[in-house]
Chain A
Amino acid sequence: MSRRGLLIGAAAFGVTGAGAARALSPAPRVAAVDWAMLETTLALGVVPVAATELILFRKAAVEPPVPGQVADLGLRGSISYERLLAARPDLILISPWYEARRGALSRIAPVESYAIYGRTEPPYDASVRATARLGARLGRPDAAAQAIARAEEALDAARAALAHLRGRQVLVMNLGDSRHFRAFGADSLFGDMIGRLGLKPAWAAPTRFGAYPTVGVEALAAMPEAIVVNVGPTPPSALAGVRDSPLWRALPPIAEGRFVSLPPVNPYGALPAAQRFARLLTDSLSGVA
């Protein structure tokens, strides 16, 4: 039995054990301060009463769609406690990044923290675990099992579709301007997914929280075999700039047509972001040899 199988089993067990009795009870009023938990809540079919920075979420994470009735709590770095209070949540979901604000948040409702990017566990496994835990907490164990199964299916389908590229090096990056990018390492959600899809993450240097900030594009010269995947949001001027750039065009991965650019995906997301990434990657890499 694979490690993944074990995880699913464990998740399903936790889910059925804890949640069966109140499977149909109404879900608590949830406020998702952390974006990964906003995704996870929506993936469980529960609409949160409030969440942070929805204007940007709809643009930079895109999926899952956030219904209009969800109250916007403002910037993730500067949460409007007053709006949160007005939303009357029963439960507030955070990640360790918001630990400093736990005191103020817990005056409003009980706070629960879910660590997906805790650097102890690959982000995908942590997302599966968080989904199962939240499903149990919200009385939606079946929905959690389904969400995990959907993600597994998407992963399997993507792996099959990418079989022709098995073992190839893939650099996942985010272009900042026409001269710099952020590289996503093996410990990021994208790097983790690359490995699970049968490919090899190309960024070997150490990362800070999954992404190595600010690399000059000439670094691509050191990975001539790699397939280069840019994940949005990318400023249109950066994409136009690299297209006009002689250095960029001379770099082997680009010169040989191994560059694809994906629409925005939340790099610090959970299962919905992982699925979105797998789907977009498969679509865009189908033509790459």
Chain B
Amino acid sequence: MPDAAARRLRPLLLWTALAGLAAALSLGPILSGFSGGPVDQAFLLYSALPRSVVALLAGAALGLSGALLQQALDNPLAEPSTLGVFAGAQLALGLTAAFAPELGSLGREGAAFLGGAAAAALVLALGWRRKLDPVTVVLCGMVVAMVASSLTAALILARGDYLFALLIWGGGALTQEGWRPSVAIGVVLLLGALASAALARPLAVLVAGEASARSLGAPAPAIRIAALGVGVLLATTVAAEIGLIAFVGLAAPTLARLGGARGARQVLAAAPAIGAVLLWLADGLARQIGSGEAIPTGAATAVIGAPLLLWLLPRLRLADRPAAAKPSPRRNTARVLAVMAGVALAALAAGLMVGRDPSGWTLVSGAAFTELLPFRAPRTLAAASAGAMLAAAGVILQRLTGNPLAGPEVLGVGAGAGVGLAVVYLTGAGVSLSLQTAGSALGALAALVILLGVSGRTLGPERMLLAGAGISALCLAGLNAVIATGSLSAFALLAWMSGATDAVGPREAMAACAAAVALIAPLGLTLRWLETLQLGAVTARALGLRVRAASAALAGLASLLTAAAALIAGPLSFVGLVAPHLAHASGLTRAGPHLAGAVLVGAALTAIADLLARTLIAPYQLPLGLFASLLGGVYLMVLLRRR
């Protein structure tokens, strides 16, 4: 069979060629500039060579980690970042840097492992009830990761003294000054390889079925937990030594399977090799493009890996399982809406009246209220408007995709807005509000267009989430790269990422309110579309809807809503997922009430989040996005436990 042999050979040749390119990129400049002096020797021995070695080892470790996690969970979307492992490790390392900075490197590795393992355990505990169904696990991972990320952002903003170190680390820099990181990663990689060799057969049988796995003598959960533990250890060691390297863990096993690797054994063998080449190549490219440290390697891997994955996505065989919609309880629509309106009003009132001074909580009225109103009203109104807009965008996306877990944050639309905003900041032009809005809207729209483009016609939840995760990772890695430069725009972006309402003045608040009204009101005219589209494209077309035009118009509106809201609340809030879901679960199933309820719930959520941000550790104000994602995260966790 010459055809089959050629088909097997082709990926091998391709990866060998890519490895050659990586070698040329990273070794070429070193050898050409080598003069033989003692400093050059030291540089070659302690910086250039270890950098290539650490890129290979870390890439292999991440590839193996991704392969183990994917096999253990039987989940093609599993990787350290989608399981929240990186975010957990980042938070743990941030806490270490802030509160125990004298801890040595072994202590840092230990902390990273504990943080990453805790995050993964939380994700799995949340997904347990649904039998670790891939989409649920990834969603839980995103919830945990976003909550951990906003906690980390708050920590970085609050702990200015070691800020610089945390920023570098977040960018994933491969610069080396010795062999210690290589040795540390190498040792763990060796352990991981041995463990994988032992686990390969049980894992392969596991995929075939739990019952036959038991015949191996080891219970299935033990095999899974062992594989997960090794995967987490590999990823967190790399994170502690180098920083955040996104996407290699997801891309390597996926590319291995696309290259023809079949079964656990082959994937576990091929993924580390592919991961090593990927990271080496990414590092070489990052060094070519950015002289010095302009582009952190962690950002480069996402820039290379995410588009690759998006391109591969339509070609990937995924079991698209349409989410079964649970019938919602029948309730009196008017009564439910009245309750929601009451809650929203109460939240707004609390935002204006509740405060905290050195002696404790205060409830102001009268003259004090009037005096504080100019400071509290703008931020409360802006926050509520942002929540309302995110909720409306969520209603559109959930109905458009027929996916109850869709939302502007999960699908990468919010992160896209951030990239647009970053471009505006970086061009350095007078950063006016309208320019920021325009940049943010274009970014959100681009993300949504890419998302709808790659998810193809079927729009199954799994494919869509994978595409969303890809776009999110790409955008957030780009933002990390900008933040890691430590420039002024970096601080503006960092503040934005965590959602800051303190700079909102009366003018911005009015603009936010106006945008909310102007963008949500036209949705009243699209209620029929929202009603019909949810039934699926075929049914909608049969009912006389011009599906393409309607989808495009709604997608445009959703991007504008997300962009305007993201300027205030940041990209990591979950309000756009939670508010529509909550409204739907409360019995508001028809498009009109669903939209109205979601808007009310969204406004209430962000108003409460802003109140907490302002008062909890006053006078030190926390970012709004932190509390929005905490509130939303807790809701989602409860929801996922119950389902």
Contact = CB atoms under 8 A, between A and B. Distances in A.
Interface of A: 53, 56, 59-60, 71-75, 77-83, 85-86, 100-101, 103-104, 107, 174, 176-180, 182, 208-209, 211, 213-219, 221, 224, 233, 235-238, 240-242, 244-248, 250-252, 264
B97 interface: yes
A80 B357 CA distance: 11
B177 A78 contact: no
Given A174-B164, A180-B168, A245-B177, A221 B487 contact: no
Contacts of A215: 292-293
Contacts of A182: 164, 486
Contact of B175 (A83, A216, A238): A216
A83 B618 contact: yes
B137 to A, nearest CB: 33
B177 A248 contact: yes
B552 interface: no
B125 to A, nearest CB: 32
B620 A75 contact: yes
Nearest to A252: B39
Contact of A77 (B355, B500, B507): B500
A75 B158 contact: yes
B105 A246 contact: no
Given A74-B619, A176-B164, A214-B168, A221 B502 contact: no
Contacts of A221: 39, 43
Nearest to A218: B47
Interface in B154-206: 157-162, 164-165, 167-169, 173, 175-180
Nearest to B107: A237
Interface string B608-624: 00000010001111010
Contact of A246 (B38, B103, B162, B177): B177
A248 to B, nearest CB: 6
A178 B159 CA distance: 19
Contacts of B491: 77
A45 B168 CA distance: 39
A56 B621 contact: no
A237 B105 contact: yes
A214 B484 contact: yes
Nearest to A52: B619
B132 to A, nearest CB: 37
Contacts of A86: 357
Contacts of B614: 80, 82
A74 B160 CA distance: 12
A77 B505 CA distance: 15
A174 B162 CA distance: 10
Given A216-B47, A236-B101, A246-B46, 16 more contacts: A73-B619, A74-B621, A75-B157, A77-B157, A78-B500, A80-B619, A82-B355, A83-B357, A213-B487, A214-B168, A218-B47, A219-B292, A224-B39, A233-B161, A237-B102, A242-B177
B168 A78 contact: no
Given A244-B178, A246-B42, A247-B178, A74 B620 contact: yes
A83 B6 CA distance: 73
B503 interface: yes
A237 B107 CA distance: 10
A245 B619 CA distance: 41
B161 A56 contact: yes
Contact of B46 (A53, A78, A240, A245): A245
B43 A247 contact: yes
Dominant SS among interface residues on chain B: helix
Nearest to B487: A208
A176 to B, nearest CB: 4
21 contacts: A56-B159, A56-B161, A71-B619, A74-B618, A77-B500, A78-B500, A78-B620, A80-B621, A82-B619, A83-B357, A83-B618, A85-B371, A174-B164, A214-B167, A214-B292, A214-B485, A215-B293, A236-B101, A245-B46, A247-B178, A250-B41
Given A82-B355, A246-B178, A77 B495 contact: yes
A179 B102 CA distance: 17
Among A81, A86, A242, which residue has the most Cβ atoms of chain B within 10 A? A81
B2 to A, nearest CB: 49
B104 interface: yes
Nearest to B96: A237
Dominant SS among interface residues on chain A: mixed
Interface string B486-527: 111001000100001011011100000000000000000000
Contacts of A213: 164, 485-487
B97 A235 contact: yes
B61 to A, nearest CB: 19
B165 A235 contact: yes
Given A82-B355, A100-B503, A179 B619 contact: no
Given A73-B619, A244-B180, A101 B503 contact: yes
Contacts of B376: 82
Contact of B160 (A56, A79, A235): A56
Given A81-B375, A215-B293, A264-B161, A177 B169 contact: yes
B374 interface: yes
Contacts of B488: 208-209
Contacts of B47: 216, 218, 247
Interface in B456-485: 484-485
B339 interface: no
A32 to B, nearest CB: 14
A176 B162 CA distance: 7
Given A177-B168, A180-B293, A236-B102, A83 B619 contact: yes
Given A104-B375, A244-B178, A247-B46, A233 B162 contact: yes
A165 B376 CA distance: 56
B584 interface: no
A82 B614 CA distance: 10
A75 to B, nearest CB: 6
A252 B486 CA distance: 28
Given A60-B160, A250-B42, A176 B618 contact: no
A242 B157 CA distance: 26
B372 interface: yes
Contacts of A79: 502
B177 A176 contact: no
Contacts of A82: 355, 357, 372, 375-376, 614, 618-619
B487 A103 contact: no
A233 B42 CA distance: 28
Nearest to A174: B164
A213 B171 CA distance: 13
B594 interface: no
Contacts of B102: 236-237
A224 B167 CA distance: 28
B108 interface: yes
B91 to A, nearest CB: 17
A215 B46 CA distance: 17
A247 B621 contact: no
Contacts of A224: 39
B165 A245 contact: no
Nearest to B618: A80
Contacts of A101: 503
Nearest to B242: A179
A245 B43 CA distance: 12
Given A179-B175, A237-B104, A59 B161 contact: yes
A178 to B, nearest CB: 6
A104 B159 CA distance: 25
A176 B103 CA distance: 15
A246 B39 CA distance: 11
B101 A235 contact: yes
B570 to A, nearest CB: 13
A181 B376 CA distance: 40
A241 B108 CA distance: 12
B46 A250 contact: yes
Nearest to A83: B619
A187 to B, nearest CB: 14
A152 to B, nearest CB: 30
B93 to A, nearest CB: 11
